[in-house]
Amino acid sequence: MIVAEEKDELKVKLKEFFGYTSFRGNQESVIRNILSGKNTFVIMPTGAGKSLCYQLPAMIKEGLAIVISPLIALMKNQVDQLNAYGIHARFLNSTLSKAEITRLKKDAINGTVKLLYVAPESLNKEENIAFLQKVKVSFVAIDEAHCISEWGHDFRPEYRKIKTMIAQLGQLPVIALTATATPKVQLDIQKNLQMEEADVFLSSFNRKNLYYEVRPKKETKKQLIRFLKDHKGKSGIIYCLSRKKVEEIAQLLNVNGFKAAPYHAGLDPDVRVKNQDDFLNEEVDVVVATIAFGMGIDKPDVRFVVHYDVPKSLEGYYQETGRAGRDGLEGICLMFYSHNDLNKLEKFNKDKTVQERENARVLLQEMEYYAESPVCRRRQLLHYFGEEYTEQNCGACDNCVNPRERFDGTAAVQTALLAARQTGERFGLNHLVNVIRGIEDEYVKSYGHFDLAIYGKGGDEDGDYWKSVIRQALIYQYLEKDIENIGVLKLTEKGRKFLNKPHPIELARDHDYTTDIEDEEVSTEKPSSSKSYDEKLFEMLKNLRKQVARQKNLPPYVIFQDPSLEEMATTYPTTREDLAAINGVGMGKVNKFGKEFLEVIQKYVDENDIETASDVIVKSSVNKSKIKIFIIQQIDRKVDLEEIAESKSLTFDELLTEIENICYSGTKLNLDYYIDEVLDEHKQGQIFDYFLNSETDSLEEAMNDENNAEFNEEEIRLMRIKFLSEYAN
Binding stretches for ligand ADP (CB under 6 A): 20, 23-24, 27, 44, 46-52, 179, 298
| CA 32 to chain centroid | 38
In whole angstroms, what is the distance from residue 391 CA to residue 461 CA? 29
Quote the least distance from Cβ 46 to ligand ADP, whole Å. Answer: 4
Binding to Mg ion (CB under 5 A) within 575-634 occurs at: none
Q: Give the closest residue to 468 by CA, choosing from 432, 514, 518.
A: 432
Taking the least distance from each CB to Mg ion, the nearer of 50 and 221 is 50
Which of positions 655-694 make contact with Mg ion (CB under 5 A)?
Answer: none
Phi, psi of 480 (to 5 degrees): -145, 160
Sign of CA dihedral 711, 717, 722, 728: positive
Of the two residues 27 and 275, which places its CB atom closer to ligand ADP in the complex? Answer: 27
What's the min distance (Å) between Cβ of 34 and Mg ion? Answer: 16
Residue nearest to ligand ADP (CB): 49
Distance CA 34, CA 174 (A): 8
Q: Which does 44 bind (CB under 5 to 8 A by kind): Mg ion, ligand ADP, none?
A: ligand ADP
Other beta carbons within 10 Å of 374 = 18
Cβ-contact 210, 396 below 8 angstroms:
yes
User: CA 239 to CA 286: how far, in whole Å?
Assistant: 11
Residue 23 contacts which entry, ligand ADP, Mg ion, none (Cβ below 5-8 A, type-dependent): ligand ADP
Q: How far is the CB of 70 from Mg ion (least distance, A)?
A: 11
**Nearer to ligand ADP among residue 50 and residue 90 (C-beta):** 50
Contact assessment for residue 314 and residue 195, using Cβ atoms and an 8 Å cutoff: no
> Residue 70 or 556: which CB sits closer to Mg ion?
70
Kindly tell me which of 50 and 299 has the beta carbon lying closer to Mg ion.
50
State the Cα–Cα distance between residues 89 and 78, nearest whole angstrom. Answer: 9
Query: In the stretch 187-226, what mask flags binding to Mg ion with x, by CB under 5 A?
Result: ----------------------------------------
CB of 21 to ligand ADP, least distance (A): 7
Q: Which lies closer to ligand ADP via its Cβ, residue 69 or residue 708?
A: 69
Helix residue ranges per DSSP H, 373-437: 377-384, 398-401, 410-422, 429-437
Q: Indicate which of ligand ADP, Mg ion, none lies near residue 571 (CB less than 5 to 8 Å, by partner kind).
A: none
CA distance 211 to 396: 5
Closest CB to ligand ADP among residues 50, 471: 50
Residue nearer to ligand ADP on the CB measure, 52 or 193: 52
Binding partner of residue 20 among Mg ion, ligand ADP, none, CB under 5 to 8 Å per kind? ligand ADP
Residue 31 binding: pick among Mg ion, ligand ADP, none (C-beta 5-8 Å cut-off by kind): none
- Sign for the pseudo-dihedral over CA of 591, 595, 601, 606: positive
Q: Give the three-state DSSP class for 693.
A: helix
463 binds, among ligand ADP, Mg ion, none (CB under 5 to 8 A by kind): none
> Shortest gap between Cβ of 14 and ligand ADP (angstroms)?
7
Element (H, E) at 235: strand 235-239
Least distance CB 497 / ligand ADP (angstroms): 38
Nearest distance in Å: CB 52, ligand ADP: 4
* Smallest distance, Mg ion to C-beta of residue 50, A: 5
Continuous segment of H or E residues that includes residue 508: strand 506-508
- Choose between 71 and 622: whose C-beta lies nearer to Mg ion: 71
Distance of CA 229 to the CA centre of its chain: 19
Nearer to ligand ADP, 46 or 186 (CB): 46
Stretch that binds Mg ion, among 44-52, 93-101, 429-437, 648-656 (CB under 5 A): 44-52
Q: Minimum distance between the CB of residue 253 and Mg ion, rounded to whole angstroms?
A: 30
The one-letter amino acid code at 474 reads L
Per CB under 5 A, the segment of 45-53, 513-521, 558-566, 606-614 that binds Mg ion is: 45-53
Provide the minimum distance between the beta carbon of 33 and Mg ion in the complex, in angstroms, as a whole number: 18
Closest approach of Cβ 23 to Mg ion, in Å? 16
Nearer to Mg ion, 141 or 345 (CB): 141
Exposure string (b/e) for 43-71, b if CB count within 10 Å is 16 or more? Answer: bbbbbbbbbbbbbbbbbbbebbbbbbbbb
- Scanning 50-58, 447-455, 644-652, 677-685 for contacts with Mg ion by CB under 5 A, the matching segment is 50-58
Phi/psi zone of residue 243: left (φ > 0), alpha (ψ -120 to 50 degrees), beta?
Answer: alpha
Q: Is the distance from CB of 548 to CB of 596 less than 8 angstroms?
A: yes
Kindly tell me which of 50 and 377 has the beta carbon lying closer to Mg ion. 50
Strand order in the sheet with 137-142: 89-92, 115-118, 64-68, 137-142, 174-178, 40-43, 199-202
User: Considering CB distances under 5 to 8 angstroms, the limit depending on partner class, which of ligand ADP, Mg ion, none binds residue 469?
Assistant: none
- Among ligand ADP, Mg ion, none, what does residue 198 contact (CB within 5–8 Å per kind)? none
252 interacts with, out of ligand ADP, Mg ion, none, CB within 5 to 8 A per kind: none
3-state DSSP assignment of residue 52: helix
Structural contact between residues 674 and 641, judged by C-beta atoms closer than 8 angstroms: yes
Shortest Cβ distance from residue 83 to ligand ADP (Å)? 15
Q: Say how many residues touch Mg ion, by CB under 5 A.
A: 1
CB of 211 to ligand ADP, least distance (A): 21
Residues 526 to 565 in contact with Mg ion, rule: CB under 5 A: none
Task: Tell me how far apart the alpha carbons of residues 348 and 360 are, in angstroms, rounded to a whole number.
Answer: 10
Nearer to ligand ADP, 28 or 567 (CB): 28
Per DSSP, helices labelled H in 290-337 are 314-321
- Count Cα neighbours of 314 within 13 Å in the Cβ-side half-sphere: 22
CA distance 158 to 558: 65
Contact (CB, 8 A) for 65 and 137: yes
Instruction: Give which of ligand ADP, Mg ion, none residue 24 binds (C-beta under 5 to 8 Å, depending on kind).
Output: ligand ADP
Q: How far is the CB of 319 from ligand ADP (least distance, A)?
A: 9
Closer of 57 and 586 to ligand ADP (Cβ): 57
- Nearest to 697, CA basis, from 660, 669, 667: 660
Q: How many residues does the chain have?
A: 729
Q: Which does 210 bind (CB under 5 to 8 A by kind): Mg ion, ligand ADP, none?
A: none
Closest CB to Mg ion belongs to which residue? 50
Report the distance separating Cα 625 and Cα 564, nearest Å.
20
Return the number of the residue (44 or 618) whose C-beta is nearest ligand ADP. 44
Q: Which stretch binds Mg ion (CB under 5 A): 49-57, 265-273, 455-463, 494-502?
A: 49-57
State how far the Cα of 138 lies from the Cα of 59, in Å rounded to an integer: 10
Q: Which region, judged by CB under 5 A, interacts with Mg ion, from 42-50, 68-76, 524-532, 694-702?
A: 42-50
Minimum CB–partner distance for residue 94 and Mg ion (Å): 21
Question: What does the binding site for Mg ion look like in residue numbers (CB under 5 A)?
Answer: 50
